[in-house]
């Protein structure tokens, strides 16, 4: 799973409005904590194409994420939350919080062994219902 991104892939990350606590015309997915997309000059507004993603924690998480064996998903963790990134249809990637049950078991065990995440954090966010889109917002303190 440990496949680093190539330098030209780093610019391919952008967030998606469906994972932001903002109005959008599309169906919402799990909402991202504000700290994942804030920059020193402010937070995410409404346009994922004009936001300075390279200065966000989301970018850093994506840059250091672990690839799935098929390369179609990337996983990261911070502050007890697990994140997954998937490619979009426009050639970019977007990430969002996922429950720990969705993280590959070997990766979760490695992060536990490294002390990157604790058993308590995993237990707290192990299973979330499909209608509970705001659960990751409670971790909105970096």
Per-residue pLDDT tens over the stretch 76-104: 999 899 999 988 877 788 888 998 999 99
Answer for the pair 136, 20: CB distance below 8 angstroms, yes or no: no
Q: pLDDT value at position 26?
A: 63
**Residue 123: C-alpha distances to residues 6, 17, 82, 127, 128 (Å):** 34, 28, 12, 8, 11
pLDDT over 70 percentage in the chain: 62
Answer for the pair 83, 98: CB distance below 8 angstroms, yes or no: yes
Q: Select the more confidently predicted residue: 46 or 23.
A: 46
Residue 61 host element (H or E): helix 57-63
Closest residue by Cα to residue 83 from 94, 72, 98: 98
Q: Select the more confidently predicted residue: 126 or 104.
A: 104
pTM given for the model: 0.75
Sign of CA dihedral 72, 46, 58, 138: negative
Phi, psi for residue 67 in degrees, rounded to 5: -80, 145
Render pLDDT for 51-83 as a digit per residue (tens, 0 to 9).
676 777 888 888 899 998 888 899 999 989 999
């Amino acid at each position: 799973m440990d496949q680093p991104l190539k330098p030209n892939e780093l610019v391919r990350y952008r967030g998606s409005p469906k994972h932001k606590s903002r109005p959008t015309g599309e169906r919402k997915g799990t909402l991202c904590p504000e700290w994942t997309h804030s920059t020193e000059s402010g937070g995410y507004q409404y346009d994922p194409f004009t936001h300075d993603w390279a200065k966000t924690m989301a970018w850093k998480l994506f840059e250091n994420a672990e690839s799935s064996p098929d390369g179609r998903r990337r996983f990261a963790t911070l502050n007890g939350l697990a994140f997954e990134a998937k490619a979009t249809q426009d050639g970019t990637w977007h990430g969002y919080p996922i429950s720990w049950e969705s993280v590959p078991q070997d990766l979760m065990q490695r992060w536990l062994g490294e002390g990157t995440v604790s058993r308590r954090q995993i237990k707290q966010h192990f299973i979330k219902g499909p209608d509970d889109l705001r659960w990751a917002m409670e971790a909105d303190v970096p």
